[in-house]
Amino acid sequence: MTTTAPSIAPDAAMIEKVARDVVTAHPPRDVPLTELMGAWYDAGLTWVHFPEGLGGLRAPRSLQPVANRVMREAGGPEPRTVNTIGYGIVAGTIRRYASPEQASRLLRPLATGEEKWCQLFSEPSAGSDLAGLATRAVQETGDAVTPGGGDWIVNGQKVWTSLAHTSRWAVLLARTDPDVPKHKGLTYFILDMTTPGVEVRPLRQLTGRAQFNEVFLDNVRIPDAQRFGAVGEGWIVANSTLGDERTSLGDRVPARGSGVIADALALWQAHPERHTPVLRERLTRLWIRAETHRLTSDRTRVAAATQATAGPGSAVTKLVGSELTQHVYEFCMELLGPAGTLIDTYSPDAPDDESGPTAIQRKYLRSRATTLEGGTSEIQRNVIGERVLKLPQEPRADKKIPWRDVPR
């Protein structure tokens, strides 16, 4: 493994040069993806703010877009798409909580996409109220072989798990103490999805596709070495994961007129026969919202990189972006008129949302998830109200009583 070790503090020019060297030596269009992304990782470009040897260069996080731009211009992938959950959501938690040996074992195949990751957090009765989850992990007594503590035996059911059917690894939040209030009795693990007792069942969505899964855990054995953070402190670790989930979105600020609004503009251009003043105003207002959202994302990124205290950024951009997506596709359907009533397929393995004659219709249906996934809009508004504006918290009947006694 070769690691570029800069003798000076990394700056944009240096990142750009390192990135150009990688895409020159490994032309993205010619070499296998895993080779390209492996070289990218070894050069410290996967997460530039990570330590050397772990996919980074200890550079300011604000320089990540410089590296990603070079990759994009060379015809390579947006790095996150190689391992959607692993790249933006799990990697930071591994860096903070895994042992150095674990981190170097896990991060490189994560970065190359050879080992995909999923997130076993939500449960059928614990979505927005994530801390109310019921999956149990019980530790076997330690012995001479495992002096630090025995294996954990996990039983329960998870849901809404994106990519579980293709994942090698999962992060798992489980209840280890039902006799304390719900936030205090959780512990965080990483789980090898090939472990006996892990069953993944695809879950069909209203789009017809099966993109998410239910995951059943039946006496699944997890070594104690795969515990992140202390027993009972899983909520703290989970919050660091969720924080990365929000922050990682700031690494990519799209160009003006790109993203979902590009779909609306292209559709508008393709259907001059359906232009009306009312639709023109609606499209203009959506363009304004998209551009305003883009500028806010950019301002949030600059603030995160240059200011000591983070602004209200991530919850605001999450809320605005997801509602914008829905409104753009609602507009698109109205622009389509009667043609919008058609859809080419409800096949569970339909092609990705990006293609096909009725891609707009499928994106419209898919967009209903944007205000649910990653925290509902209602929860985002609570977060903004309570954490940003410091308004009084919702009264919580279950906050101080043992989880075992919470009505459910």
Partner 1 sequence: MTQEFEFTDELAELRTMVRDFCAEVSPESTVRETMITDTGSDSALWRRLAAELGVLGLAVPEAYGGEGAGLVYQAVVVEELGAALVCGPVLGTVCLAMPALAALSDAAVRADYLPALAKGERVATLAVPTHGGTFSPDRVTVTATPAESGWTLSGALAQVPDGTTADLLLVAARTGSGVALFAVEGDTEGVARTALSTLDLTRRQADIVLHDVAARRVADESECPSVCERALLVASALLAVEQVGGAQRMLDATVAHVRDRLQFGRPIGSFQAVKHRCADMLVSLEQARSVAYHAVWALEDGTDDARLAVSLARAVASESYLWISTSAIQLHGGLGFTWEGSPHLYLKRATTDALLLGTAGEHIEHVAARTVDLASAAD
Answer positive or negative: Cα dihedral of 220, 226, 230, 235: negative
Percent of the chain that is helix, strand, coil (3-state, to 5): 50, 15, 40
11 binds partner 1 (CB under 8 A): no
Q: Which stretch binds partner 1 (CB under 8 A): 134-142, 243-251, 300-308, 342-350?
A: 300-308
- State the nearest-atom distance from the C-beta of 8 to partner 1, in Å: 21
292 binds partner 1 (CB under 8 A): yes
Bridge partners (DSSP) of residue 212 are 203
295 binds partner 1 (CB under 8 A): yes
User: How do strand 152-158 and strand 212-222 relate by DSSP bridges?
Assistant: antiparallel
Bridge partners (DSSP) of residue 402 are 181
3-state SS, residue 282: helix
- Rounded to the nearest 10°, the torsion over CA 25, 30, 32, 33 is 80
The encoded tokens of residue 132 equal 């109310």
From the candidates 35, 123, 245, 281, give the one annotated as an active-site residue: 245
The encoded tokens of residue 345 equal 């397929």
Please check whether residue 190 is in contact with residue 95, taking contact to mean a CB–CB distance below 8 angstroms: no
Nearer to partner 1, 24 or 269 (CB): 269
Alpha helices per DSSP H over 211-276: 234-247, 260-270
310 binds partner 1 (CB under 8 A): no
Selected binder of partner 1 within 75, 388, 405, 408 (CB under 8 A): 388
345 binds partner 1 (CB under 8 A): no
Selected binder of partner 1 within 395, 397, 400, 407 (CB under 8 A): 395
Cβ contacts of 357 within 8 Å, gap of 6 or more:
344
- From residue 251, how far is each of 78, 245, 377 by CA, in Å? 11, 11, 22
Please check whether residue 19 is in contact with residue 52, taking contact to mean a CB–CB distance below 8 angstroms: no
Q: Which stretch binds partner 1 (CB under 8 A): 19-27, 92-100, 146-154, 297-305?
A: 297-305
Q: Which stretch binds partner 1 (CB under 8 A): 28-36, 74-82, 168-176, 304-312?
A: 304-312
3-state SS, residue 45: coil
291 binds partner 1 (CB under 8 A): yes
299 binds partner 1 (CB under 8 A): yes
Q: Annotated catalytic, 245?
A: yes
Nearer to partner 1, 133 or 319 (CB): 319
Q: Which stretch binds partner 1 (CB under 8 A): 44-52, 114-122, 190-198, 383-391?
A: 383-391
269 binds partner 1 (CB under 8 A): yes
* Strand positions, DSSP E, 90-178: 117-120, 136-139, 152-158, 169-175
Selected binder of partner 1 within 35, 100, 166, 280 (CB under 8 A): 280
Question: HSE of 273 in the Cβ direction (CA atoms, 13 Å)?
Answer: 2
Question: Residue type for 50, please?
Answer: F
Q: Which stretch binds partner 1 (CB under 8 A): 44-52, 100-108, 286-294, 363-371?
A: 286-294
372 binds partner 1 (CB under 8 A): no
Nearer to partner 1, 285 or 404 (CB): 285
253 binds partner 1 (CB under 8 A): no
147 binds partner 1 (CB under 8 A): no
- State the nearest-atom distance from the C-beta of 231 to partner 1, in Å: 33
CA 388-394-400 angle, 5° bins: 115
374 binds partner 1 (CB under 8 A): no
Selected binder of partner 1 within 285, 399, 404, 408 (CB under 8 A): 285
378 binds partner 1 (CB under 8 A): yes
Burial (Cβ within 10 Å: 0-12, 13-18, ≥19) of residue 357: exposed
Contact residues toward partner 1 (CB under 8 A) are 257, 265, 268-269, 272, 275, 280-281, 283-285, 287-289, 291-293, 295-296, 298-299, 302-303, 306-307, 311-312, 316, 319-320, 378, 380-382, 384-386, 388-395
Which residues are tagged catalytic? 245
